[in-house]
Amino acid sequence: MTRHVAASRVATLLGEFDRSPAYRGLAEGLRVLITDGRLPTGVRLPSERDLTEALEVSRTTVARAYAELRDHGFLVSRQGSGSVAHLPASRSVGHGDHLLHLTEHPDGMADLTCAAPLPGPGLLAAYERAVAELPRHLGGPGYFPSGLPVLREAVAEAYAARGLPTDPDQVMVVPGAQAGVAIAARALLSPGDRAVVQSPTYPNAIATLVRSGARLVGVEVPREDDDTEAMTTTVRQVVPRAAYLIPDFHNPTGALLPDEGRARVAHALARTRTTAIVDESMAMLPLEGQRMPAPFAAHAADTISVGSVSKPFWGGLRIGWIRVPAARADQLFRARLSLDLGTAPLEQLVAADLLRDGADLLQHRREQLRASRDAALVALAEHLPDWRPTRPSGGLNLWCELPAALSTALVPRAERHGVLLASGPSFAPEGGLDRFVRIPFTQPAHVLTDAIARLAPAWRETLADPYPRPDRATPGLVA
Ligand SMILES: Cc1ncc(COP(=O)(O)O)c(C=O)c1O
């Protein structure tokens, strides 16, 4: 596998850089792109000659910049492969070491590691209605490996309403979207297979895909929602077996891939016979009343779509689903049975109730998220004006670009100020991303406002002393 990036693309990613002197500005610009993962580790950079032409600088400028990066470990020269982007060991993060266990937090600690909403009003009433329904399902042993028909129908109807006709037989109920991704990975991937993932992406999916033995190839999530060039080019170069995508309010960036972008990515995947595993966990959370694009599977019939009630309703239900392409039904069903034998009927009844009749609850959820998002943005502008957060039109997260690559150094400082954070590298399939931090807006507005005010002194201390004695932050679940 040879991944490379065109000189014109590097020029676009770099934009303007400091030219006094030019070689140092160029080296700094490239270093930032490599630590951010926008030039992922393992990618071959353009030859000195090509970059010289694309940037309209002297050949010496590029040669000196490359030499400086090589000296600091950000480029390695490989025989026959030119100059390859690389992260020095201290800047990369082991997969899964952020995924430890849920811990009880001391009072007053604001937990911004977990992007999961609290249960809304009306959930208990849905449970009560489900309990009344339950006797109809108590006649047998209680195993429903594909799910209760009533829930499979509700999921199929929801897909049809979004423009993707779906037979209830295509729906398999699973214990949450994370389990859905694990089942899809188990069905599709063998050790050594390549899988393309967005960078950043959802940390627990990184762990699942790595566990399946796949070699992950990260593709930057562009700032413009409709820019699919990096994805289509990488798919063409890498010819992956699978691509794990979050097109609906991507976790953590919040990006929403529009219809045309979906069509372009689907076309690229079809040419390499790559199967998409599409995580639609956030698809029910548009916050601006906008029309959602059609599900990705409307463009690529072979797509394995994964969804869940965790984000719109409550993670405690542990109910999700897989929409199975007809040709893969047997493969996915077998993979599922190798992991578990079905989910609890009571929670399935609650989920079916919420999908069919939960419009008010969903509306309430969206209003609360919108208020929390806006409060977080106001607080960031006030307390941390040099952070650059995204302003997503849906989902649960702000992705903040920091003025320095110090998110890992910030985490223990923030904890001392009573805020638990997940650092950028937790979301990096191939390391890097230390210049970013995720702020979920799932907590009430006042909690976020207070937490962000507490982050300001933590950030000031981090800038003043970026690398103090090693300190262990409390491990947490990044969800
Ligand atoms: C993109 C994404 N996929 C999957 C999950 C896990 O969802 P579930 O609770 O349905 O397993 C999350 C939760 O944070 C998520 O953000």
CATH of the domain at 244: 3.40.640.10
Residue at 98 is within a domain = no
Rounded to the nearest angstrom, the distance between the alpha carbon of 177 and the centre of ligand 1 is 5
CATH number for 12? 1.10.10.10
Question: What local confidence, expressed as pLDDT, does residue 120 receive?
Answer: 85
Both tokens of 58, joined, read: 């002297």
d(CA 86, CA 421): 26
Mutate to test the pocket of ligand 1, among 173, 202, 441 (most ligand atoms within 8 A of CB): 202
What is the three-state SS of 416-462? HCCEEECEHHHHCCCCCCCCEEEEECCCCHHHHHHHHHHHHHHHHHH
Q: Which atom of ligand 1 is nearest to the CA of 115?
A: 14
Last residue of a domain, one of 357, 389, 404: 357
Residues 63 and 195 in one domain: no
Query: Domain limits at 48?
Result: 7-87
Mutate to test the pocket of ligand 1, among 249, 251, 321, 348 (most ligand atoms within 8 A of CB): 251
Residue at 298 is within a domain = yes
DSSP sequence for 341-399: S---HHHHHHHHHHHHH-HHHHHHHHHHHHHHHHHHHHHHHHH-TT-EE---SBSSEEE
CATH number for 422? 3.90.1150.10
Report phi then psi at 105, rounded to 5: -100, 145
pLDDT digits (tens, 9 = 90+) for 202-243: 999 999 999 999 999 999 998 887 889 999 999 999 999 999
Which residue's CA is minimally distant from atom 14 of ligand 1? 479
Rounded to the nearest angstrom, the distance between the alpha carbon of 319 and the centre of ligand 1 is 11
Question: What local confidence, expressed as pLDDT, does residue 10 receive?
Answer: 93
Residue at 165 is within a domain = yes
Q: Which atom of ligand 1 is nearest to the CA of 250?
A: 1
Residue 168 CA, distance from chain mean position: 28
Which residue's CA is minimally distant from atom 16 of ligand 1? 251
Residue at 479 is within a domain = no
Sheet holding 275-279, edge to edge: 171-174, 320-323, 304-308, 275-279, 242-245, 194-199, 215-220
Residues 302 and 446 in one domain: no
Question: What local confidence, expressed as pLDDT, does residue 362 receive?
Answer: 96
d(CA 30, CA 23): 11
pLDDT digits (tens, 9 = 90+) for 397-435: 999 999 999 999 999 899 999 999 999 999 999 888 999
Q: Does residue 96 register a pLDDT over 50?
A: no
Rounded to the nearest angstrom, the distance between the alpha carbon of 200 and the centre of ligand 1 is 15
Helix/strand/coil for 75? strand
Q: Does residue 453 register a pLDDT over 90?
A: yes
Residues 280 and 337 in one domain: yes
Tell which residue, 297, 290, 237, has the closest CA to residue 263: 297
Question: What local confidence, expressed as pLDDT, does residue 98 receive?
Answer: 42
Residues 395 and 334 in one domain: no
Tell which residue, 425, 479, 389, has the closest CA to residue 97: 425
Residues 33 and 11 in one domain: yes
Rounded to the nearest angstrom, the distance between the alpha carbon of 226 and the centre of ligand 1 is 23
Q: Does residue 99 register a pLDDT over 60?
A: no
Rounded to the nearest angstrom, the distance between the alpha carbon of 173 and the centre of ligand 1 is 15
Name the band, by pLDDT with cuts 50, 70 and 90, for residue 101. Answer: very low
Rounded to the nearest angstrom, the distance between the alpha carbon of 181 and the centre of ligand 1 is 9
Find the residues whose C-beta lies inside 6 A of ligand 1. 115-116, 176-178, 202, 246, 251, 279, 281, 308, 310, 315, 320, 479
Q: Does residue 110 register a pLDDT over 50?
A: yes
For residue 109, is it left (φ>0), alpha (ψ between -120 and 50) or beta? Answer: beta
Last residue of a domain, one of 298, 331, 357: 357
Q: Does residue 260 register a pLDDT over 90?
A: yes
Of 79-93, 115-129, 224-238, 267-281, the range with the lowest mean pLDDT is: 79-93
Question: What local confidence, expressed as pLDDT, does residue 225 receive?
Answer: 78
Task: Return the amino acid letter for 456.
Answer: A
Mutate to test the pocket of ligand 1, among 204, 279, 318 (most ligand atoms within 8 A of CB): 204
Q: Does residue 279 register a pLDDT over 90?
A: yes
Calculate the alpha carbon distances from 326 to 49, 144, 165, 303, 419 in Å.
50, 20, 13, 10, 46
Name the band, by pLDDT with cuts 50, 70 and 90, for residue 95. Answer: very low
pLDDT digits (tens, 9 = 90+) for 357-399: 999 999 999 999 999 999 999 999 999 999 999 999 999 999 9
Rounded to the nearest angstrom, the distance between the alpha carbon of 82 and the centre of ligand 1 is 39
Question: What local confidence, expressed as pLDDT, does residue 72 receive?
Answer: 83
Question: What local confidence, expressed as pLDDT, does residue 276 receive?
Answer: 98
d(CA 71, CA 67): 6
Mutate to test the pocket of ligand 1, among 172, 178, 279, 397 (most ligand atoms within 8 A of CB): 178
Question: What local confidence, expressed as pLDDT, does residue 33 receive?
Answer: 85
Beta bridge partners of 322: 172, 306
Name the band, by pLDDT with cuts 50, 70 and 90, for residue 156. Answer: very high
d(CA 77, CA 85): 9
Residues 155 and 278 in one domain: yes
Residues 338 and 453 in one domain: no
Q: Which atom of ligand 1 is nearest to the CA of 246?
A: 1
Residues 233 and 369 in one domain: no
Stretch 271-287: mean pLDDT: 98
Rounded to the nearest angstrom, the distance between the alpha carbon of 471 and the centre of ligand 1 is 29
* Contact by Cβ (8 Å): 466, 411: no
Rounded to the nearest angstrom, the distance between the alpha carbon of 396 and the centre of ligand 1 is 11
Q: Count up the domains in the chain and report the number.
A: 3
* Contact by Cβ (8 Å): 217, 40: yes
Residues 168 and 198 in one domain: yes
Last residue of a domain, one of 357, 388, 423: 357
Of 260-264, 317-321, 454-458, 471-475, the range with the lowest mean pLDDT is: 471-475
Stretch 189-194: mean pLDDT: 95
Task: Return the amino acid letter for 252.
Answer: P
Rounded to the nearest angstrom, the distance between the alpha carbon of 467 and the centre of ligand 1 is 33
DSSP character for 327? Answer: G
Residues 326 and 225 in one domain: yes
pLDDT digits (tens, 9 = 90+) for 311-331: 999 999 999 999 999 899 999
Stretch 159-182: mean pLDDT: 97
Residues 280 and 146 in one domain: yes
Residue at 2 is within a domain = no
Q: Does residue 454 register a pLDDT over 70?
A: yes
Calculate the alpha carbon distances from 75 to 17, 42, 86, 231 in Å.
19, 9, 5, 23
Helix/strand/coil for 255? coil
Q: Which atom of ligand 1 is nearest to the CA of 114?
A: 14
Q: Does residue 468 register a pLDDT over 80?
A: no
Q: Could you tell me what percent of the chain has a pLDDT over 70?
A: 93
Residue at 99 is within a domain = no
Residues 176 and 292 in one domain: yes
Kindly report the average pLDDT of the chain as a whole number.
91
